[in-house]
Amino acid sequence: MNVWWEKISAEWPPALKLWVARGLSVALGLVLAITLHYVLYRMGLPSKPFIYVSF
Amino acid sequence: MNDAPDNSASPGTWFRPGFFLGGLLAGIVALAGAGQWAGRHNTHPGTERFHPRISPEGRYSPTVDELCAIVRARCRPDQILVIVGGNSIFNGVGQPPEKLWTLELQKQLGDGFGVVNLALRGAGCTEGATVIAEVLRNEYPRIIYVTNTSPFTPPEPLGVQAYEYIFWEAYYRGLLVDFAPRDEQLNKYVRPPESPLPLVHYLQKDRAALIEIEHFKVVAWLRRLGLRAEVGLDAALKYRDLWNWMGYEHLFTVPSFYTPRWPGWMAARGRLRDEEPDFETMDFTSSERFAPRKTPIEMPIVRGFSERAYTEGGPEGWTLNAPVRNDFLAGAKRAVPDVFKSRTLVMLSRNSPFFFHMLSPAEARRDDLAYRDGAAAWREAGYASAEYGRDFLDEDFGDRTHLTASGGRKLAGITAREITALAERLGYFKEAGK
């Protein structure tokens, strides 16, 4: 999981590495928040669509 | 945040649980805040009604906050608020947006009134828009709710399943008036089981052990529990308001019957025009519109408006069946809180004279009695009521029941007179003069 991270951050100063890691973690949290929020919206939609028929 | 500054705890990983959780929580809080804002600002500018692509038919379900925001955007606090509910007839099926009957109603009532059309196709007379009138009772103390139905159709607080979410949202958010008769009715639909045993059986999937009624009660009770949880979660996180706003203003994410193909279904709902056809300019003549092949289908419906309610005999030729009247009155008394009954105007919708004139003289007499007695029964239950359509012409209808623009203008005239008289009786003009 972290091979790519090791590879791209190998030459970075420790402070930069730290802040990028923090930023990525926050971003992942935000993405998950948006996903959860949207999934709740979709789950709230009726499973059967309503088709109006005049009578 | 429990983060190692020198990276020594987990030198090879980029993932920081503390920052991840911080991002997750901050995201949820920010989205809930954005949803709160969206619910107050999604006012549907430029649309006059819920056409199919911005209604549950098009998988777009407006929220209570959104519906209230629409009302606030169209009616000033100093105006008498007129909320139009009801079904497709009052929604204006067959009338393009520029010929919509509620525009004429606004014109005839004048600037002292603010008319908002919240009617939904297929809705009952006391659902959807009724809820919004009740929610806005304090904000607009001078309010009139106008709706339509047929004679002796008992109103229900919950009607068409597609729209009942509006009621449940307002109900569980505590936005409605406490009204015991309505609560009793709701408990009849969805009451908890009398003992926990059926629930255990249900959870164990041992459905055979349940007698049918217990099974119904458990399913209904679980459903109500689910609804309550869902409303609570949405009230806290506002996901429906936010994603509705996104779908209306920017990008819709749900395919529907009306926009099934990509990329059409992604178009912002607010950019989709109200494409209601115009009965007056459609490429069919009146005779084709009321084609003979349709008569065998339509006439039983027309007769059905009064057939069940009356028995032949009595001084007027027909006698109203007591159980029908009693069922109706019981429904009318519990459908809307007492404080709103007097502010509700129920218009009884007639069928096209094209079909009415095919009734036998006796059936026509029964139909007339049903509308007269139907309006009287609504008044007896505490509502205002009138009928329309008896003196309309064939060309005022686009089909058996929906009006053309000319019929809409006539409806607007009758309804404006009834609304003005009701506003007078309610003392709204005196309040305005204070």
Q: How far is A6 from chain B (nearest CA, A)?
A: 6
Residue numbers in B near A29 (CB within 8 A): 19-27
Following DSSP, what letter does each residue of B276-318 receive, concatenated?
---TTTSS--HHHHT-GGGHHHHHHHHHHHHHTTEEE-STTSE
Q: What percent of chain B has pLDDT over 90?
A: 77
Average pLDDT for B380-387: 98
pLDDT of residue B205: 57
pLDDT of residue B191: 53
pLDDT of residue B212: 60
The residue among B192 and B30 whose pLDDT is bigger is B30
Least confidently predicted of A33-37, B29-33, B190-194, B267-271? B190-194
Nearest Cα residue in chain B from A51: B57
pLDDT exceeds cutoff 70 at B177: yes
Average pLDDT for B37-61: 95
Following DSSP, what letter does each residue of B135-161 receive, concatenated?
HTTTT-SSEEEEEEE-TT----SS-SG
B251 touches chain A (CB under 8 A): no
A51 touches chain B (CB under 8 A): yes
pLDDT of residue B260: 87
| pTM of the complete model | 0.90
Q: How far is B160 from chain A (nearest CA, A)?
A: 9
CA atoms within 13 A on the CB side of B426: 24
A5 touches chain B (CB under 8 A): yes
Instruction: Test A55 with B25 for CB contact under 8 angstroms.
Output: no
pLDDT of residue B209: 56
pLDDT of residue B24: 98
The per-residue pLDDT of chain B, averaged, comes to: 91
Q: Which helix (H) or strand (E) holds B198?
A: helix B197-203
Per-residue confidence at B220, pLDDT binned at 50, 70, 90?
Answer: confident
B52 touches chain A (CB under 8 A): yes
Per residue in B14-42, pLDDT (tens digit) is 999 999 999 999 999 999 999 999 999 99
pLDDT of residue A54: 61
Per-residue confidence at B195, pLDDT binned at 50, 70, 90?
Answer: low
pLDDT of residue B206: 58
pLDDT exceeds cutoff 90 at B434: no
Q: What are the strands, taking DSSP E only, across B193-343?
A: 310-312, 318-320
Per-residue confidence at B6, pLDDT binned at 50, 70, 90?
Answer: very low
Instruction: Test A33 with B5 for CB contact under 8 angstroms.
Output: no
Q: What percent of chain B has pLDDT over 70?
A: 89
Q: How far is A11 from chain B (nearest CA, A)?
A: 13
pLDDT of residue B4: 47
Per-residue confidence at A46, pLDDT binned at 50, 70, 90?
Answer: confident
Per-residue confidence at B202, pLDDT binned at 50, 70, 90?
Answer: low
Q: How far is A44 from chain B (nearest CA, A)?
A: 8
Instruction: Test B26 with A37 for CB contact under 8 angstroms.
Output: no
Instruction: Test B26 with A54 for CB contact under 8 angstroms.
Output: no
Instruction: Test B13 with A14 for CB contact under 8 angstroms.
Output: no
Average pLDDT for B274-297: 83
Nearest Cα residue in chain B from A5: B14
Following DSSP, what letter does each residue of B51-64 receive, concatenated?
-GGGSGGGT----H
pLDDT of residue B8: 42
In the numeric block, the tokens 């972290």 are attached to A2
Per-residue confidence at B72, pLDDT binned at 50, 70, 90?
Answer: very high
Measured CA to CA, the distance from residue B208 to residue B202 in angstroms comes to 9
pLDDT exceeds cutoff 60 at B138: yes
**B354: three-class secondary structure by DSSP:** helix
- Residue B84 — φ and ψ, nearest 5°? -100, 120
**B28: three-class secondary structure by DSSP:** helix
B260 touches chain A (CB under 8 A): no
ipTM of model: 0.93
Instruction: Test A2 with B28 for CB contact under 8 angstroms.
Output: no
Max mean pLDDT range (B24-38, B179-193, B262-276): B24-38
Least confidently predicted of B8-12, B55-59, B158-162? B8-12
**B90: three-class secondary structure by DSSP:** helix
Residue numbers in A near B31 (CB within 8 A): 33-34, 37
Measured CA to CA, the distance from residue B119 to residue B90 in angstroms comes to 6
Least confidently predicted of B97-101, B191-195, B234-238, B316-320? B191-195
Residue numbers in B near A8 (CB within 8 A): none
Which DSSP state fits B264?
G
Which residue of A17, A32, A49 is in closest CB contact with B7? A17
A10 touches chain B (CB under 8 A): no
pLDDT exceeds cutoff 80 at B207: no
Instruction: Test A29 with B122 for CB contact under 8 angstroms.
Output: no
